A = this chain, B = another copy of it.
């Protein structure tokens, strides 16, 4: 049994163009973001954290380290929006020009903040010139954390707060959580809406859309589908009406409708729902193992450690994960899992018989409750007419029995392109972990997937 968490309201603004609703924008600055050298994870994380705190981002604009472009986008955003988060270009190197460009845009002198400079004095790695650069900000700015190494700052232009944060994800998010969000909560009230997300695996986006559309969506609910390979996230967004109570328990009709629609969705998608919320599959599996006091071990061939790496990314995983082996060679399969040489010779390393022996051997040797084994062909070479690239055998040994299924991860779901090596590895790891989840949650030995075959 899984327990459904209570439908939890959070306060957010709407992303839709209503003039009376608070909105904000993110401006990300850095040539590396435009050249494609660096993935813009900072903006992504800021959008997510602010969303969780109650504000929906209206626009994210990425520009290079260029004074004219920064000025142009900053002045336009000020016209459109209630507050702005800028990230990037505050660092020590010569291509960091955000403070200078912002001062230029606002027609303000660039000044050195004494508090920030004092903090930096203790830093032996920086020259005086670099310290002064790091402590520079447009006149009138207030450092967000003068005692920190990456202080960031707030400049209020007219009535628009501009938050300047570093581009490095960890530094930006720390300042956001410690300084920006508390400031916003004190100064800019968020509008109340209900938002909820679930993570699914195993149904293509179109099939989910068909099922959901047939469930008669209430008019004031917005549904989102977000494929994040190999999963699909589904969200519902409901904006509370002005005359409704803020308390979900005693809420008006609208909230009750949203709640019951959510529950209909969950029943409809059934076992494909990994979790209500966006916990990762490995976190859900870890939690189920912990609840049962059960342990698991993994034997991987084509996934090369990806399954173990996902399981052990969760803090506390030593309580449920005993060992993993990556048996790339036949010798390793014989040494570490006691797969018999005759089996390997007769059926091959990629076969049901080998997968079953891997799982059984592993469970016996590791003395765990569960053992997961995978063997397959991730490509780009090594396929044959009988076992084409994407052929994978997954075996699951449980306290009751050992089952094996053959999968063919050959084609992506919505188009007909062959999957890459990386996609086959990801889909194999996801399927193995999902089978373990289904087994733990429903006691099922058989796992059905559209890739079975």
Contacts and interface: CB of A to CB of B under 8 A. Distances in A.
Interface of A: 15-17, 30-41, 43-51, 56-64, 66, 68-69, 73, 91-95, 125-127, 130, 148-150, 168-171, 174, 197, 204-207, 209-210, 213, 222-229, 233, 235, 278, 298, 300, 303-309, 311-313, 315-318, 321-329, 331-332, 335-336, 365-367, 379-381, 412, 414-417, 420-423, 425
Contacts of A324: 304-305, 324-326, 328
A336 B322 CA distance: 12
A73 B59 contact: yes
A94 B209 contact: yes
B49 A58 contact: no
Contacts of A315: 379-381, 421
Nearest to A47: B36
Given A35-B47, A324-B304, A332-B323, A61 B64 contact: no
A59 B48 contact: no
A405 to B, nearest CB: 22
A367 to B, nearest CB: 8
Nearest to A222: B95
A41 B226 CA distance: 13
A125 B425 CA distance: 25
Given A34-B47, A51-B35, A148-B415, A329 B322 contact: yes
Ranked nearest first, the 7 interchain pairs of A and B with the lowest CB-CB distance are A36-B48, A304-B312, A305-B305, A305-B308, A324-B326, A323-B332, A36-B47
B226 A38 contact: yes
A68 to B, nearest CB: 5
A286 to B, nearest CB: 12
A43 to B, nearest CB: 8
B73 A69 contact: no
Question: Which residue, of A47, A68, A305, A329, has the highest number of chain B Cβ atoms within 10 A?
Answer: A305
Given A228-B38, A235-B35, A223 B94 contact: yes
